[in-house]
Every structure is written in structure tokens, then in C-alpha cells.
Amino acid sequence: MLCIRNTSLDPFFNQATEEYFLKNTDQNIFMLWQNDNTIVVGKHQNTLAEINVEHVKQRGINVVRRLTGGGAVFHDMGNLNYTFIMGYGAEGAKVDFNKYNQPIIDVLATLGVTAAFSGRNDILINEQKFSGNAEHIYLQKQRVLHHGTLLYASKIKDISDALNINPLKYEGKARKSVKSRVTNISSHLKEDIGVERFAQTVMDHITSLYPDAEPYEITEDDRKAIHKLADEKYSQWHWTYGYSPNYGLKKGVKTPGGHVEVHLNVEKGIISELAIFGDFFVNKDLDALVEGIKGVEHREMAVLKRLQELGSNQYFSNISADELLEAFF
């Protein structure tokens, strides 16, 4: 088993690292890593429905989609992530959280903390969640990627603020995250050993379980391939936002020119249907504007650019393109 302490804090690089080792190696992998100030959404989620868009913009929070299913999570420097990449061989292709969660439960026991697996994919201390887990099965090479969070000393308020969204705004079949009571591991230790020492404790425990465990440093060739994957996939809008399942949005905003309510449908990241309602006044019929916006990517800069190109301020009385834009997200 190759044991990797990935020190990168780049969320796009880190997600790409997992996929790279899953698909380009045959050896078993255990990796510890961290992201800073990042929301990671599940593969099958509607990204915009999971994040507090305004808070994300104000705080400069990174947003990235991962390869596995499950719900959205917020990563900061008080959180540690772990990844197993293993061949499943004769066991068959199946999701098996217990197999990979048990070593985490065991290492916490050595620190005097009693943890337990619960529900579909969580590990709890005193009925409070500190670890969410997800898996992806790669059939082509009979390998499974299992990863999870370990909230050691995360800022709990930041987690709720980043993921605090209006549950009525978006409609669709994407899987929504389930809010859970959460806790930090450090709150249950007799002595706060710090996240780095905790990481080393976890690594030492894993290496003791596998006789063939050996440290592995990511090589320059690895990095080049990982950066390429990060640049071409994980850092791209089309993956993080455009990959979202089809969804609808209904949102109303107050503007100097009156109340504006936008109803839209998005398919593969593209606005496919659009209607604009409200008590505003118009200078000319909105049909051309509405048709002109269809076919645009549902992201702020793309919609704003199209509103400006179409001269939306010429259609509405006393409503600017920026004010109208707020109703689209």
C-alpha cells in the first residue's frame, strides 16, 4: 500500500489526485489531505441548490464537484480528509462503508474516543457527526475509491453559513444534502493534540494495519498529469456547475422598478425555459429578451453578459442588468 500525505490545499488538484491514482495505478492507496475554504458537492447534486451563493462570493470560497455521490461538505483547515483506493477483486463491486470506516473508529479508540458507524455513511461521537463518507466504484480496473471527512477542529458556524440555502428556491431531482448535528473530534479528547499530530496518528495506525505499507511522494510526472486533469475538468464550470442534474429555479427580487420574479429551467447547465413575471413596467415586449437568454449557461457572468448584449435596461423601466441578474440565481 502506498501511503501519501498530500500537502496541497488546492481543491481542484486534490480532487484530480484521487481520480488520477484511482485510474492510473494498480496499487492500493491511502492518502491524507486537506482543502481550505472549500465546498465540495456530491457528483449527483445541483451545486447552486447546495451553496449559499452570496456567502460563497463574499468569502471567496472555492466550489468543486467530486467523483463520488453523497451530500455537500465544507472543508477548512480544521478538517482532515482521508482516502482509500483499493482493488475489490473477489469481493465484487459493492459499496462497503464499514470496511473503510472501521480503521477510523479504531484509531479514535486509541485516543480514548468512542465512535460508531451510523446511518448510510456517517461516523458519530455521542450521536453527533464528525465524518461523512462516500464511495465510487471504478469497474474498468475493479477498484473502489472511499473517502471521508474528519472534523478535527472545524469552525462549525462556517459550515452552516456556507451551506445555508433557501430550500424552496430550487426544484429538481438532484440529491439534497441532509443537515446533521456535527461535532469536532478535538472536543472529545483529553488533550488537544492539533490536526497535524492527529493526522500522523491516523497515518501510523493505517501503516500498522498493512504490512506492505510504504510512504509515497507524489512525483513530478504525477503532478503534471494531475494538474492537467485539474485544469481540464475539476476547475471547469462545466464540471462543477454544468454537470448538475436538470433543475428549475423560481426567485423574486425587489428592484427600484418593481418586483421581478424569474422562473427558469436548466438542462445540462443551459437555460432551456424562461419566464419573467412582476409588477414592473416595460418599454417594449419582453419576448425577444426572453428568447435571447435561452441557451445561455446558467452562471452569473454568462447571464449578465447576455443581458447587457440584449440591452435589458431598454426593456425595463428603472431596472438595470445587475438588478435583474439577482433574480436569476
What pLDDT is attached to residue 71?
85
The domain that holds 49 is classified in CATH as: 3.30.930.10
Same-domain check for residues 234 and 252: no
**Residue that terminates a domain, selected from 240, 256, 277:** 240
pLDDT at 169: 55
The verdict on 235 and 252 lying in the same domain is no
Are residues 178 and 154 part of one domain? yes
Question: Is the same domain home to 82 and 168?
Answer: yes
* CATH code for the domain of 300: 3.30.390.50
Do both 235 and 254 map to the same domain? Answer: no
Q: Which residues of the chain have pLDDT under 70?
A: 89-95, 164-180
142 lies in the same domain as 266: no
Domain identity same for 169 and 286: no
Q: Which helix (H) or strand (E) holds 229?
A: helix 220-229
Q: Name the amino acid, one letter, at 164.
A: N
Length reported for the chain: 329
Of 182, 206, 240, the domain-final residue:
240
Residue 98: per-residue pLDDT: 85
User: 221 and 263 share a domain?
Assistant: no
Mark whether 108 and 191 lie in a shared domain.
yes
Note the pLDDT tens digit of each residue in 86-118.
997 665 556 678 889 999 999 999 999 999 998
Domain closes at, from 240, 274, 295 = 240
3-state SS of 248-275 is EEEEEEEECCEEEEEEEEEECCEEEEEE
pLDDT at 165: 56
Q: How many angstroms separate the CA atoms of 284 and 311, rounded? A: 12
Same domain for 80 and 168, yes or no, is: yes
Q: What pLDDT was estimated at residue 96? A: 76
Whether 180 and 85 map to the same domain: the answer is yes
Main-chain phi, psi angles of 94, to 5 degrees: -145, 150
Q: What is the pLDDT of residue 90?
A: 62
| DSSP structure class, residue 142 | T
Into how many domains does the chain fold?
2
- Whether residues 230 and 293 share a domain: the answer is no
For residues 195 and 26, what is the distance between their CA atoms, to the nearest angstrom? Answer: 30
The 10s digit of each residue's pLDDT in 143-160 is: 999 999 999 999 988 888
CA 235 – CA 229 distance, rounded (Å): 9
Domain containing 111: what range? 2-240
